[in-house]
A and B are shown apart, each in its own frame.
Chain A
Amino acid sequence: MELTSNQTHPAFPTLLSGAVHQESEQTRSQAYTTGRKTVGTPFVDKPRMTCRDVEVYYGEKCAINKISIDVGCNEVLAMIGPSGCGKSTFLRCLNRMNDTVPSCRVVGSICLDETDIYHPSVDVVPLRAQVGMVFQKPNPFPKSIYDNVAYGPRIHGLTKNKVELDEIVETSLIKAGLWEEVKDRLLEPGTGLSGGQQQRLCIARAIAVSPEVILMDEPCSALDPIATARVEELIAELRTQFSIVIVTHAMQQAARVSQRTAYFHLGDLIEVGATDKIFTNPKHRLTEDYITGRFG
């Protein structure tokens, strides 16, 4: 069943549809998602990543239910939804982070530049360089600022000598908007930086190995508003070179940084669309209810 619009509004109790209103939240959610089709525009021309009928199971429990979506080139795709909706699980599928969870099983196809990343021949180590990840909490290695950024290029053998490595470190820190703040103290520990700087250091570390896609799992939730603004500006700049998929609970952040927004609900992908459309005129009732705070 696809529900595309409704007349319900708190300011207009007379508009409450009786049938819908009397159902429990859970019954309503199930009714709307059972057998549903994703509303909107999950697919793009010339995608960087394509995901088709992706299902994720933790043991017997289905966490993601047949999701199909593309990640476009040079776009920021924001994934929003209530806790437990599967957005982080799905994000972690995109660079096989779920491989580290023994009970986790992924079904369906996820391709990066037309290569199935779950094919047995694919080595996850270079894959995770191509599809980098930035986590919720800044997690610099207990090493110097320089070594944090140089770590990836070293283990992936991306440089022949120190000069090249220096260049990658500098370029990555410049791209991450951190160079001016740390260029005089590259040998000091990364953990000595402020939270916002540490997160940008982690972004520099991710981009040092020339990824194609950067996954961000609530990258600003541990940061203050100023550091958040810096990271958001950085995301906008990075988009010109990378594809970015960001999971965020801050809907205004999704609205600010992304070009497309995907709404997840109970393991289903309910709606995908241009961010300005999702936040002004979403097509699905569940999307509307969530972003306007009717539930979640």
Chain B
Amino acid sequence: MDHHYTFHHELTKLNKKLLKLSATVEERVRRATEVIESKDMDAIQAIIVSDYEVDEMEIDIEEDCLKILALHQPVARDLRFIIAVIKINNEMERIADIAVNIAKRVDNIAKFKHQAAVSYDFSKMSDKVISMLKKSIDSFVNGDATLAKSIFLDDDVVDACRNRCYEDIKERIRKDPDHPGYHINTYLLARHLERIGDRAVNIAEEVIYFVEGTITRFN
């Protein structure tokens, strides 16, 4: 039997945990983008109150990483794997927090007496952000640095969506100056989505480090 069986078994277990966290966070983001459109109060509350689950998973993964570092002193690809897991784990928890922020923001917007005749359409931006997040997870699972690098290009698209939203909201405020709070909150949804995109980029950077051993930063 492989004399490092326990260590490799630990790595496999850790990987499964991270994938479970990733799937959970991806689902949270999907639900958060859905409530932007639906403003379903039950769904909003569900996202907000279940955030502790992600926090617990994140802590569990971090503890496993620290244990592996202390007990096995991994090197080479194993070391890069652990480092990538520590960082991606952190990014995932923050993305889940942003999903909660989106839910709270939507809750806030829904409580305004004033509602726009036509809600701002975030569907394209949401789809892109979810696709980036999914790609970042897939690139990690498959050790695919090329896929990870493609996320950098997607980020430009998401940034452009946010900029367009900024201009559109500015125009809406100009036309409807009596409800700036409503419009600003709407714009902040674009900011939240854009931040998820940024964090998917951070994950992609970690995937490139894990696969190729080079530290990459996308600006």
Contact = CB atoms under 8 A, between A and B. Distances in A.
A281 B213 contact: yes
A20 to B, nearest CB: 15
Contacts of A12: 15, 141-143
A11 B81 contact: yes
A293 B3 contact: yes
Nearest to B9: A10
Contacts of B142: 12, 14-15
Interface residues of B, number: 25
Interface string A240-266: 000000000001100100000000000
A292 B76 contact: yes
A279 B75 contact: yes
Given A251-B75, A252-B73, A292-B78, A9 B3 contact: no
Interface residues of A, number: 22
Nearest to B83: A280
Contact of A15 (B4, B76, B143): B143
Interface string A264-279: 0000000000000011
A92 B143 CA distance: 42
B12 interface: yes
Given A9-B81, A11-B11, A12-B141, A281 B76 contact: yes
A11 B12 contact: yes
A7 interface: yes
A278 B73 CA distance: 14
Which of A15, A255, A278 has the most B CB atoms < 10 Å from its CB?
A15
Nearest to B144: A7
A17 B184 CA distance: 52
Interface string B80-105: 11000000000000000000000000
12 contacts: A7-B211, A10-B8, A11-B14, A12-B141, A12-B142, A251-B75, A252-B73, A281-B80, A281-B214, A288-B77, A292-B74, A293-B3
In the complex, the 8 A-B pairs of residues with the closest C-beta atoms, listed nearest first: A281-B213, A293-B4, A11-B15, A10-B8, A279-B75, A11-B11, A292-B78, A11-B12
